[in-house]
Amino acid sequence: MKSLICLLTLSSLYLTATSSRLSHHRLEHKTPKDFNEDIVKTVVVGQNGSSDFKTIQAAIDSIPSGNDKWIKISLQNGIYNEKIIIPSEKQKIVMQGNDASKVIVQYNDAGQSNGSGPVIVYAQYFVAINITFKNSYDPITSVGVPYKEIKVAPSIILMADKAWFYGCSFISVQDTLADLVGRHLFQNCYIEGAIDFIWGGGQSIYKKCLIYVKGMKTNKMKDYEGGILPGFITAQGRASEQDTSGFVFKYCVITGDGMASLGRAYRGYSRVLFYKTSMSNIIVPQGWDAWFYKGQEDKITFAEVGCIGEGANKQGRVGWEKSLSAKDVAFLTSTRKFIDGDGWMATLPSSLVSLDSPFPIYY
């Protein structure tokens, strides 16, 4: 009976999540309580006369170098066509919108996996709430993305430790979310792409996120079902056994109009875990790809634990997918143990604690 209740609940949430994609892409949303607590200053960015700044970069530039107090940049509704750099000396920034469907930070820029796109974060202690980050380069149509026209086009590039994203959307096609360095928490976020669209050497937990796989069109109709070329959700870059990095997807939903593998190995010790996640039938049967590390699969840690849905059927999975011990699963899925071992999250504005429910919404 418990399993049946879980399945019915998950199915309902899956339908809700899919329909909400058209509006805000969110699966759950809460507004921070007393969010001005611990914030020493708030500046407003917008395109009307009531704002302090017209551009996000101008607001960032106004923050003193070496800042050690939390400053909020409040974004009014609008589309911000900017290329934004948050330098390492501008720490403790909270960037917040009211609704990710109405606060869009975008830029048309492609070709560099570590330089293209609207936002590059070099500063530690960065928080973003209810914002869409979008690279508008790749042509996205209702029938898929033309494969030959796709270029590397990140929506955000993370080059720093200690970041938290809540209720945000990340939209592109290839290399959408460049989770390159450091420990990060993505909660209640929407992530869309087709090729390696969550990638890098980050040490991150993706909690209660909706992952949307875009279809890629190819003219080789006879080679791929419906002319849709399968892509890859993750490309994680753990480089050694001592490397602590990895991607953990916890209580997420995977859907889309394309097809994809759960991931391929960007480096030789790549580590990805999908935990209690709902997977639709867009996941290809083999599930994973060793990429350039074929023959070295024993070093790769790709695993699925407690997942449900048609895409979670392990019949046809690669034989080298890992079976993790209960101890390893407990470690990787624990926010405190995997990404907060030194307690950095306790230094975030205290009101953010209200956003981090310990209870799963999918399972």
Classified as helix, coil or strand, 232 is strand
- Of 138, 161, 175, 179, catalytic: 175
Give per-residue burial for 104-143: e unless 16+ CB within 10 Å, then b.
bbbbebbeebeebbbbbbbbbbbbbbbbbbbbbbbebeee
Task: Give DSSP secondary structure letters for 118-186.
Answer: SEEE-SSSEEEES-EEEE--S--BTTBEEGGG--B--SEEE-SS-EEEES-EEE-SBS-EEE-SSEEEE
Give me the catalytic one of 138, 161, 179, 196.
196
Burial tier of 43 (Cβ tally within 10 Å: 0-12, 13-18, 19+): middle
Residue 247 is classified by DSSP as E
Strands 156-158 and 119-121: parallel
175 is catalytic: yes
Could you tell me the strand order of the sheet in which 190-193 lies? 78-81, 103-107, 132-135, 169-171, 190-193, 210-213, 253-256, 278-279
Tell me whether residue 99 is one of the annotated catalytic residues.
no
Which pair of structure tokens corresponds to residue 179? 């989770």
Are the C-beta atoms of residues 206 and 164 closer than 8 Å to each other? no
Task: Report how far residue 174's alpha carbon sits from residue 193's, in angstroms, rounded to the nearest whole number.
Answer: 6
Q: Cite the active site residues.
A: 175, 196
